[in-house]
Chain A
Amino acid sequence: MEETALSNSRITSGFKSIGSLRNISRTSVLCYSALILILLIAFSIRILPLRWEIPSGTSRLNEFDPYYQYSLTEKMVEDGLLSPYFPDPGWRNNQLWYPDGLDMSKSLPSLPMTAAVLYRIVAVFGFNLDLMTFCAMLAPVLGAFACLLLYFIGKDMGGKTIGLFAALFLALLPSFLQRSSVGFFDSELPGMIGLLLFIFTFLRSIDSKRSLFSSILYSLVSAVSLAFFILGWGAAYFLISLAVIFVFALVLLKRYNTRLLISYSITFGFALFIATKWPYISLNYLISVAVLPVVALFILLCLAEAFQNKISLKPKLYITIAIISAIIVGILAAWQLGYLAQVAGKFLTVLFPTTRANSPLIESVAEHRISTWAYIYYELGLGVLFFITGIYFTVKNPTNRNVFLLIFGATSLYFAASMVRLLVIFAPAFALLAAKGIVGLLNPFFALLKENSSVIGKSKRKLLRVSKEYSYGAILLIFLLLVLSLSFMPQNGGIPRSLTAAYSPLTITSSSLPIAPDDPVSEWIDMLNYTNNNLQSTDVVCCWWDYGYWLGIPGNVTTLADNATVNTTKIEDIGFIFMSPEEQSIPMLANYDVKYILVFHTVFIGQDQSGNLLATAGIWGDEGKWSWMASISGSSRDRFIEDGWIEEDLMWIDENDFGEPNQNTGTWIWNSRGRDTVIYKMMSWARQLYTESEPSQAAGVSPDEPGVEPKYLKPAFISGLDTSPFEYGGVIPLVALYEIDYESFFNATST
């Protein structure tokens, strides 16, 4: 008899299936609700900076590099995913690095592609978000996703509890938090996702308990994630070397099996195959020093496979020695003959931090600093305790996964200690090991709670003295220690470090000031609005390279240099423009067809002895950066003289030619030569104009020294003139755009 749609039995079975929900164990309900909570925390703490974005209705991006990634995404959304790269020679962004333009095909595609694809998908569902807001929000989403991935890795490594703790730690670790909060649309995101997905799938694929089919499937996914990492973040060398060292360690531990060879070859073969299809990576990647060991290890694995068959000891030995020496000799020979592609200096200096002192260009960037133990403690708090116990428990039980975790922890700790920025790679290793430590410490106490106390007395003599209540005490103490290392951190005045890390406005929304005021600091945004509305996109604006992306991408004008720093000569030229007198500077500006020149100047409101308010130079704008302009341009002094830009006696070597610091206060005293430079005039005139503005007049602010008006530079727009002196606690950011008056300059010089 056929059942009707609403037959009795169907209804009852339907109710029964709802009833069977009750059979889901309480543990898993707890576990999944905890996981959801953790992910919510991870996401919501990462969107705290939105507080300063809400007034404008859209979100911008943080710092500088994310704008570069954004421009790639925009191009992909408009012209198709592969448009920046194919057909050859790819996309050249002519608004950056005028007149050459910036070759955008030399970029890594993972992040912009992911964003573009997801943006399209979201658009299908009818959400018409602004692309920049979408990119800004992608960071917290991917950050929370990384926590989810780490949960699964942790679950594989020792159960759900470890997964949960690891996810919680990763959600709150400041180093990762900062690089995945709103607006941080940068290469660390695909890096972390690729790293975690690779670890998860690769460890599963070499698990010999799984069927061959699922092993191959996992290898394929891990290949894709490795390729995603290689195409997403330059730090991929780390992951490749880590995997190679791990597999090599397994061979040394005599844990080789055929599954390892299969997974390894599929993963690396497929990943490198995909990655080298990209013009920027190209086949050269295969012969770089960091990737060659992949091949060497592959040969070694094949050898190990061959030895699984019965071969007597002697030939075994000969073959091993022969092959290993062949590999070494081959690599050495190739290296000596120069066939090996050099790994960029930036990566080598991570391995040998002491060599970094020789390259000031790398050392000058704050995120490349060597991190100190104090900084690491400041970031991690007493969670270090659980990290150490975690290492202890991991060493005691060296399964394949734990061997990997140990190598991962040790190498990433080394790299994090070598370069502050790499603390982000250390974050998942720390989270996993700390979770292991906590669970390892808690487990025996939980076991004690579950067991019957009489049983303990009989089986374990040592436990005799301890009662069940004791375990509650221990668990409570561990909990309190956790509270102190996650939420009330003594080293941060009792405030969670994750909160101070997350709760600050985006760089552009705070106009590059390191403050967190109630309202956005809109000076920079006003300037970008001005250039957007009043300037042509082909108008060339000269500024120091830090602001190149801001002006070139959201500001929609043409700039000379930016964070890509592809052309040092041009950066020297810009330094020359700012540091020379107007008469020498303007021909150079004309050479680059520059129409406008921009300076960022912060003003501090101070008091003199009689209590009058004075506008003095601050430290966070170009007044803190000009010494770099002087020394970078001074380093090619001869070129400027030989090419006839300047006479020899006018040319400088470094900042000491322009003045000296005050012995007592450390403030810079410009000499007459310094007062003749373009940058000095632009800053001091902007400050003078500010003191003449209405809010400053009302408060009675006078300049600390009379402003010098530039002869041929006419203020086009100075953002910040209408800021009240105390709006941001006595700091005024001034973004000054000057138009170059070529006509009067050439009239004056031609006569």
Chain B
Amino acid sequence: MFPRKPDQHKVGNPLIPDGLGIVYVLFTTVYLFFLYFTGIVSPSNNVSAPLTLAVCILFGGFMGLLDDWIDLKWRYKAFMPLIAALPLIYFAIENGLRTSIILPIIGVIQFNELYYFLIIPLIIMIVTNTINQLGGLNGLETICPAIILIGLMVLSPSFILMLGPILVWLILAFFNFKGKIFVGNTGSFAVGMTLASFAIITDLKSSLIVSIIPYVFNSALILLSIFIVQKRPRVIFNGKKLHSEHRRSLVTLVTYHRYLTEKQVVMIISLIIGIFTIFSVLYLYPLIVF
């Protein structure tokens, strides 16, 4: 049923079904349609939040499919998510969402009009692409976004929007961690789009920005090393453990001259992201509640 792809970090490189992210995309769409039809989440100011989310996630999934299929060029991948910003900008304007972002240390930044036309597209573009870039190990591309999403859901009063999808995603993450399936680019673009659009719709972009910092750091490392030394990161698998000879990404940084199993690496990175997420929740929870 699903195309198979070799697992590079297992002995004998067994073939594993890839692209199961589509399950997540389809389930989420059905779930959000259900929310809309049953009126559990009714349109606010004549814009429907579940349907807006559905459009964005579908688009993310579609982009991932294209990427899985024809290896989209980087310039397309970088700018295609901008299309998904349109429904979100419209949603934000019609509902008069806050145009400011609260950041630790820096404080409140007021963007006014710029928020709609610059910040929302930027958030979409950066989040989808950075989420897509951290992956390659079993469980890495599923567990980490799940942590961030749960963090967002804790803060949001409209967590119901993501209740079904997160369950499906956790099931996928479990099998992914076990090394039974891959979610593919379909999954990682879709979940990136989920994070970005959910955060914008529920007005939690501050929390998103804080928890996404490790991702941004990872992408910055990768892009810098591509620009400067023109080399991509590579982890070495010796049959049992992973290690690396350079520090060109978060994964290689963790495994630099250090022999770790795949699971250990995934746990460490998840922990880093978990710390950032918990911090964002603790920092923002009082601001939201009071």
| Partner-B contacts on A (CB < 8 A) | 374, 377-378, 382, 384-385, 388, 444, 462-463, 465-467, 469-470, 473-474, 476-478, 480-481, 484-485, 488-494
Q: How far is the CB of A410 from chain B (nearest CB, A)?
A: 19
Inter-chain CA distance A581–B232, complex, in Å, is 84
- The reply on B29 being an interface residue by CB < 8 A is yes
Which residues of chain A have C-beta atoms less than 8 A from B91's C-beta? 490-491
Q: Mark B17-42, 1 if CB is under 8 A from A, else 0.
A: 01100100110010001001000000
Q: How far is the CB of B262 from chain A (nearest CB, A)?
A: 22
A466-B3, A494-B51 known; A382-B86 Cβ under 8 A: yes
Whether B46 and A493, one on each chain, are in contact in the complex, defined by CB atoms closer than 8 angstroms, is yes
Q: How far is the CB of A586 from chain B (nearest CB, A)?
A: 48
Whether B93 and A474, one on each chain, are in contact in the complex, defined by CB atoms closer than 8 angstroms, is no
Which residues of chain A have C-beta atoms less than 8 A from B136's C-beta? none
Q: A465-B68, A466-B3, A491-B87 are in contact. List 15 more A-B contacts (CB 8 A).
A: A388-B83, A463-B69, A467-B1, A469-B2, A470-B2, A473-B19, A473-B22, A473-B65, A474-B66, A480-B54, A481-B59, A488-B48, A489-B51, A491-B52, A491-B91
Inter-chain CA distance A384–B84, complex, in Å, is 10
A378-B90, A382-B86, A465-B18 known; A484-B3 Cβ under 8 A: no
- The reply on B58 being an interface residue by CB < 8 A is yes
Sample of 5 A–B contacts (CB below 8 Å): A382-B55, A473-B19, A490-B55, A492-B47, A494-B43
Inter-chain CA distance A415–B250, complex, in Å, is 49
B residues 1-17 in Cβ contact with A at 8 Å = 1-3, 5
Which residues of chain B have C-beta atoms less than 8 A from A488's C-beta? 33, 36, 48, 51
A466-B68, A493-B48 known; A481-B90 Cβ under 8 A: no
Which residues of chain A have C-beta atoms less than 8 A from B54's C-beta? 480, 484, 490
Whether B25 and A384, one on each chain, are in contact in the complex, defined by CB atoms closer than 8 angstroms, is no
- The reply on B106 being an interface residue by CB < 8 A is no
Which residues of chain B have C-beta atoms less than 8 A from A466's C-beta? 3, 68-69
A378-B90, A490-B52 known; A480-B83 Cβ under 8 A: no
Which residues of chain B have C-beta atoms less than 8 A from A490's C-beta? 47-49, 51-52, 54-55, 87, 91
Considering the complex of A and B, which 7 residue pairs feature the smallest CB-CB distances, nearest first?
Answer: A490-B51, A493-B43, A490-B52, A467-B3, A493-B46, A494-B48, A477-B62
Q: How far is the CB of A74 from chain B (nearest CB, A)?
A: 41
- The reply on B71 being an interface residue by CB < 8 A is yes
- What size tier do the contact residues of chain B reach? 35 or more
Which residues of chain B have C-beta atoms less than 8 A from A494's C-beta? 36, 43, 48, 51
Q: How far is the CB of B268 from chain A (nearest CB, A)?
A: 29
Inter-chain CA distance A477–B43, complex, in Å, is 23
Whether B86 and A377, one on each chain, are in contact in the complex, defined by CB atoms closer than 8 angstroms, is yes
Which residues of chain A have C-beta atoms less than 8 A from B93's C-beta? 374
Which residues of chain B have C-beta atoms less than 8 A from A469's C-beta? 1-3
Q: How far is the CB of B76 from chain A (nearest CB, A)?
A: 9
Inter-chain CA distance A502–B68, complex, in Å, is 41
Q: Return the chain B residue nearest A500 by Cβ.
A: B46
Whether B69 and A377, one on each chain, are in contact in the complex, defined by CB atoms closer than 8 angstroms, is no
Whether B70 and A462, one on each chain, are in contact in the complex, defined by CB atoms closer than 8 angstroms, is yes
A377-B90, A466-B69, A489-B51 known; A384-B83 Cβ under 8 A: yes
Q: How far is the CB of B36 from chain A (nearest CB, A)?
A: 5
Q: How far is the CB of B26 from chain A (nearest CB, A)?
A: 7
- The reply on B145 being an interface residue by CB < 8 A is no
Q: Return the chain B residue nearest A492 by Cβ.
A: B46
Inter-chain CA distance A463–B69, complex, in Å, is 7
The A interface, classified by DSSP as helix, strand, loop or mixed, is helix
Which residues of chain A have C-beta atoms less than 8 A from B47's C-beta? 490-493
Which residues of chain A have C-beta atoms less than 8 A from B59's C-beta? 382, 385, 481
Which residues of chain B have C-beta atoms less than 8 A from A480's C-beta? 29, 54, 58
Which residues of chain B have C-beta atoms less than 8 A from A385's C-beta? 59, 83
Inter-chain CA distance A691–B270, complex, in Å, is 72
- The reply on B61 being an interface residue by CB < 8 A is yes
Q: Return the chain A residue nearest B49 by Cβ.
A: A490
Inter-chain CA distance A674–B123, complex, in Å, is 54
B residues 81-140 in Cβ contact with A at 8 Å = 83, 86-87, 89-91, 93-94
Q: Report the tally of A-B residue pairs with Cβ distances under 8 A.
A: 101
Whether A470 and B19, one on each chain, are in contact in the complex, defined by CB atoms closer than 8 angstroms, is yes
Whether A491 and B65, one on each chain, are in contact in the complex, defined by CB atoms closer than 8 angstroms, is no
Which residues of chain A have C-beta atoms less than 8 A from B86's C-beta? 377, 382, 384
Whether A476 and B51, one on each chain, are in contact in the complex, defined by CB atoms closer than 8 angstroms, is no
Which residues of chain A have C-beta atoms less than 8 A from B19's C-beta? 470, 473
Which residues of chain A have C-beta atoms less than 8 A from B62's C-beta? 474, 477-478, 481
Which residues of chain B have C-beta atoms less than 8 A from A467's C-beta? 1-3
Whether A477 and B25, one on each chain, are in contact in the complex, defined by CB atoms closer than 8 angstroms, is yes
Inter-chain CA distance A454–B234, complex, in Å, is 31
Q: How far is the CB of A260 from chain B (nearest CB, A)?
A: 36
Which residues of chain B have C-beta atoms less than 8 A from A444's C-beta? 69-70
Q: How far is the CB of B114 from chain A (nearest CB, A)?
A: 15
Q: Which residue of the partner chain, among B5, B48, B90, contacts A374 with CB atoms under 8 Å?
A: B90
Which residues of chain A have C-beta atoms less than 8 A from B5's C-beta? 465
Which residues of chain A have C-beta atoms less than 8 A from B22's C-beta? 473, 477
Which residues of chain A have C-beta atoms less than 8 A from B43's C-beta? 493-494
Which residues of chain A have C-beta atoms less than 8 A from B55's C-beta? 382, 481, 484-485, 490
Inter-chain CA distance A493–B51, complex, in Å, is 8
Inter-chain CA distance A374–B46, complex, in Å, is 14
Q: How far is the CB of B260 from chain A (nearest CB, A)?
A: 28
Which residues of chain B have C-beta atoms less than 8 A from A462's C-beta? 69-71
Whether B3 and A477, one on each chain, are in contact in the complex, defined by CB atoms closer than 8 angstroms, is no
Which residues of chain B have C-beta atoms less than 8 A from A481's C-beta? 55, 58-59, 62
Q: How far is the CB of B162 from chain A (nearest CB, A)?
A: 16
Which residues of chain B have C-beta atoms less than 8 A from A374's C-beta? 89-90, 93
Inter-chain CA distance A481–B56, complex, in Å, is 9
Which residues of chain B have C-beta atoms less than 8 A from A484's C-beta? 51, 54-55, 58
Q: Return the chain B residue nearest A467 by Cβ.
A: B3
Q: How far is the CB of A490 from chain B (nearest CB, A)?
A: 4
Inter-chain CA distance A410–B22, complex, in Å, is 35
Q: How far is the CB of B67 from chain A (nearest CB, A)?
A: 11
Inter-chain CA distance A39–B229, complex, in Å, is 60
Which residues of chain B have C-beta atoms less than 8 A from A493's C-beta? 43, 46-48
Inter-chain CA distance A374–B47, complex, in Å, is 13
Which residues of chain B have C-beta atoms less than 8 A from A492's C-beta? 46-47
A465-B5, A490-B47 known; A474-B58 Cβ under 8 A: no
Q: How far is the CB of A118 from chain B (nearest CB, A)?
A: 39
Which residues of chain A have C-beta atoms less than 8 A from B68's C-beta? 465-466, 470
A382-B59, A484-B55, A494-B36 known; A476-B26 Cβ under 8 A: yes
Q: Which residue of the partner chain, among A377, A470, A485, contacts B65 with CB atoms under 8 Å?
A: A470
Q: How far is the CB of A149 from chain B (nearest CB, A)?
A: 30
Inter-chain CA distance A481–B66, complex, in Å, is 14
Inter-chain CA distance A477–B86, complex, in Å, is 19
Which residues of chain B have C-beta atoms less than 8 A from A473's C-beta? 19, 22, 65, 186
Which residues of chain A have C-beta atoms less than 8 A from B33's C-beta? 488
Q: How far is the CB of A222 from chain B (nearest CB, A)?
A: 36
Which residues of chain A have C-beta atoms less than 8 A from B1's C-beta? 467, 469
The winner among A469, A477, A492 for most chain B CB atoms within 10 A is A477
Q: How far is the CB of B255 from chain A (nearest CB, A)?
A: 26
Inter-chain CA distance A374–B86, complex, in Å, is 9
Whether B3 and A470, one on each chain, are in contact in the complex, defined by CB atoms closer than 8 angstroms, is yes
Q: Return the chain B residue nearest A470 by Cβ.
A: B3
Whether B58 and A465, one on each chain, are in contact in the complex, defined by CB atoms closer than 8 angstroms, is no
Inter-chain CA distance A474–B19, complex, in Å, is 11
Which residues of chain B have C-beta atoms less than 8 A from A474's C-beta? 62, 65-66, 69
Q: Return the chain A residue nearest B47 by Cβ.
A: A491
Q: Return the chain A residue nearest B76 by Cβ.
A: A392
Q: How far is the CB of A393 from chain B (nearest CB, A)?
A: 14
Inter-chain CA distance A485–B22, complex, in Å, is 20
Whether A465 and B70, one on each chain, are in contact in the complex, defined by CB atoms closer than 8 angstroms, is no
Q: Which residue of the partner chain, among B61, B89, B94, contacts A477 with CB atoms under 8 Å?
A: B61
Q: How far is the CB of A368 from chain B (nearest CB, A)?
A: 23
Whether B36 and A491, one on each chain, are in contact in the complex, defined by CB atoms closer than 8 angstroms, is no
Inter-chain CA distance A649–B278, complex, in Å, is 74
